[in-house]
Structure 1
Amino acid sequence: MVRLHVQHDQLTPKDWPKGFRLRIVVLADIHACTAWMNVPRIDKIVARANALKPDIVLLLGDYLSGMHLMFKSLPHNHWAESLAQLKAPLGVHAVLGNHDWWEDLQAQARRGGPTMAGNALEEVGIKVYSNEAVRFEKDGHGFWLAGLESQLALLSNRRIPRRGVVGLDDLDGTLAQVTNDEPIVLMAHEPDIFPKVPSRVSVTLSGHTHGGQVRVRDRSPAVPSRYGNQYAYGHVVEDDRHLIVSGGLGYSVLPLRFGVPPEINLIELG
């Protein structure tokens, strides 16, 4: 297994309250399985994340493996119980990813939730956001945490998985729940929503791409995004809007990483 990396980003978004510091740890794309991403491995990731002493922990989806034909998936309660050991004063919060929907045949059949992955997280006390915004306070400053549902949730053709995919995300409805001008941190598993995100949002946090999983000279030959390398990895700034795309922790399609090691993200705002 490639050595775990901690990617540290420090930024002060436009209109961020003076003197307000927020320390966020992000885990994305775990893809739990019995091979490289088993319970002992997840436990080590959790211990490393806790050692960073975050104010809040955000989980950005794809807890389930998309490689079940080659490797056995972990039982949902096993990986969820490991993630339940994450600790932060403001709690642990999650969104779902496309694989959490795609691998759930019952959710696909009824064209909606609940999902097995979502239930597993909720059962261990981790809140799952599906187009929802919730207000928090730290050191006398308020902020909003918003979480979108997957933009690639429902498959219309199981034989051709990426054709006719339907999203369940509702950006406008999610942001409409924010009732004041305090800053917003947005969780969105897939980064392709970013062009639609208004400047009102302080930072958008995404996973999904694995940084392309193979990366040479800051480019990847294949990225699961309609924007290619534009939102493949790292800190992107457009028109004073911030996006951070995690390289993630697990594998998809092939158990291969080159130039983009598995990572935990530490993001310091303010």
Structure 2
Amino acid sequence: MTPPGWTPGLTLRVAVIADIHVCEPWMPLDRVAEIVDATNALAPDLVLLLGDYPASRTVAWHKVPLPDLVRLFDGLKSPLGTYAVLGNHDWWDDRAAMVARRGPVESHRLLEARGIPVLDNDARRLTKDGHPFWLAGLGDQEPFLPLGDPRSLADIPGTLARVTDDAPVLLMAHEPDIFTKVPRRVSLTLSGHTHGGQIRMFGISPALLGSSRERYAYGHVVEDGRHLIVSGGLGVSKVAVRFGVPPEIVLLTLGQASPTA
């Protein structure tokens, strides 16, 4: 696709990895290693990690230490590097952060220590073939338990204030709900979180049916000329079942090559 406001001549291959939820037996480390290899085989220019690295306690028979997971991310290879945001489970899994009501959480510390920037209401200016673009990431929207806690860490105005020119913006936001507030200045928003409903039949996700999240359950969404892509992700949460939503690495090819003379 060519998103709105995209620079002519800027072509970008982006691999998106969402909702790994590492745990035994559903997402062991050897499977994560296969995901890393499969991502590299796609030859992306840029790799984006959309959060939720640990699994929920409702599905994990055995917890996998997060340092072991993040160490595998060292194997991700792309010319423009790997960038990350955090998800709700990265917060919920950190008991100290739940008590203190603040981070940085373990996932954040480990990713940064391995050289993977966590864009927490931050933006970075990157360049591909002489064409600049911005990669931005939001803080998590559901960081605190219990689930009724309304506090969100996502700051769209503060994040976009870091964008200092008119180059196109890619925005990472773990939960897609915030898309209603994303301005046209953003060319494309990338989210995970929903697992595509995790169980999906006839294009419907029963777990999300009737909720505000149903409209952003899965795939490419266009509203008012703004574009959102929601990954089905890789792992499981709440129940250890995926049906009708195969685990996926999303590969985006953005823009078109300049015509040859």
Same fold (TM over 0.5): yes
TM-score interval for Structure 1 and Structure 2 normalised by the shorter chain: over 0.9
Q: d(CA) in 2 for partners of 1:45 and 1:243?
A: 24
Q: Using structure 2 for the length normalisation, give the TM-score.
A: 0.95
**2:124 counterpart of 1:129:** no
Rounded to whole Å, the distance in 2 between the matches of 1:226 and 1:55 is 36
Q: What's 1:158 paired with?
A: none
The match for 1:36 is 26
Please say if residues 225 and 232 of structure 1, whose CA atoms lie closer than 8 Å, have aligned partners that are also in contact.
no
Tell me how far 1:18 sits from its aligned partner. Answer: 1.1
Query: Residues 190, 103 of structure 1: CA spacing in aligned structure 2 closer, same or farther, 3 A cutoff?
Result: same
Conserved? CA contact 1:225–1:231, under 8 Å: no
Q: Any conservation in 1 of the 2:58–2:239 contact (CA below 8 Å)?
A: no
Flag the 1:257–1:164 CA change in 2: closer, same or farther, 3 A: same
Q: Cα distance, 1:124 vs. partner?
A: 1.4
Q: Is the 1:209–1:225 Cα contact (8 Å) retained in structure 2?
A: no
Q: Which of 217, 241, 250 is equivalent to 2:226?
A: 241
Q: 1:69 to 1:256 in 2, by over 3 A?
A: closer
C-alpha distance 57-69 of structure 1, shift in aligned 2 (>3 A): closer
In the superposition, relative to structure 1, how do residues 222 and 41 fare at CA in structure 2: closer, same or farther (>3 Å)? Answer: same
1:95-127 Cα deviation digits (max 9, x unpaired)? 000000011111111111111111111121111
Partner residue in 2 for 1:114? 104
- The 5-angstrom pairing of residues 1-270 of structure 1 reads 11-67=1-57, 70-155=60-145, 161-223=146-208, 226-270=211-255
Report how far residue 15 of structure 1 moved.
2.1
C-alpha distance in 1, partners of 2:2/2:200?
27
Deviations 1:112-158 (CA, angstroms, capped at 9, x unpaired): 11111111111211111110011000111000000001000122xxx
Once residues 166 and 66 of structure 1 are traced to their aligned partners in structure 2, the CA distance between those partners, rounded to angstroms, is 20
User: Equivalent residue of 1:229, what SS?
Assistant: helix
Tell me the amino acid that sits aligned with residue 126 of structure 2.
Answer: F
The amino acid that maps onto 2:222 is V
- Tell me the secondary structure at the aligned position of residue 144 of structure 1: strand
**Separation in structure 2 between the aligned mates of residue 67 and residue 147 of structure 1, nearest angstrom:** 27
1:32 shift after superposition: 0.5
User: Given the two structures, how large is their TM-score scaled by the length of structure 1?
Assistant: 0.91
Structure 1: which 4+ aligned runs deviate by more than 3 Å? none
Q: C-alpha distance in 2, partners of 1:212/1:241?
A: 22
Q: Secondary structure at the match of 1:263?
A: coil
Structure 2 CA distance for aligned equivalents of residues 208 and 251 of structure 1: 10
CA distances 1:67-108 after superposition (whole Å, capped 9, x unpaired)? 367522211111001112111000000000000001111111
Do 2:123 and 2:160's aligned partners in 1 also have CA atoms closer than 8 Å?
yes
Moved more, 234-243 or 204-213: 234-243
How many residues in Structure 1 have an aligned counterpart in Structure 2? 255
The alignment yields a C-alpha RMSD, in angstroms, of 1.4
Matched AA of 1:241:
R
Unmatched 5+ stretches in structure 2: 256-261
Shift of 1:13: 1.3
Instruction: Give a deviation string over 1:11-30, Cα, whole Å, max 9, x none.
Output: 11122111110110000000
Q: Which runs of 5+ in 1 are unaligned?
A: 1-10, 156-160
Q: Matched residue of 1:137: which SS? A: strand
